[in-house]
Amino acid sequence: MATRCGLLSRDRPPSVAEVRWAHRPVEGQLPDNHAWLLGRISGWWAAAAGEVWCRLRTLSGGDGPRRCPYDPEPVRLLPGAGI
């Protein structure tokens, strides 16, 4: 999805108390071919520097859940109740 994303095992995962769990549909752009994939953000938290992070999973073609700084340019939130 976003170029700054990393696998969940890359860094220290946030504690359960730090995460605000969610099930938010998103559309994410792949950096290599500019294709868009549907996905879901399942959690939000703030890093020590105040940057907003999310737990992101694509529905197809993904590597599993990723932790990444939320960037609205390559990861766009979709309406939760449908269009």
Q: How far apart, in whole angstroms, are the C-alpha atoms of residue 60 and residue 71?
A: 20
Prediction pTM value = 0.74
Give 29's contacts (C-beta < 8 A, 6+ positions apart).
Answer: 1, 2, 35, 36, 74, 75
Q: How far apart, in whole angstroms, are the C-alpha atoms of residue 52 and residue 49?
A: 9
Average confidence (pLDDT) over 71-78: 91
Q: How far apart, in whole angstroms, are the C-alpha atoms of residue 49 and residue 69?
A: 11
pLDDT tens figures, 24-39: 999 988 767 677 889 9
Q: State the amino acid at position 22 in one-letter form.
A: A
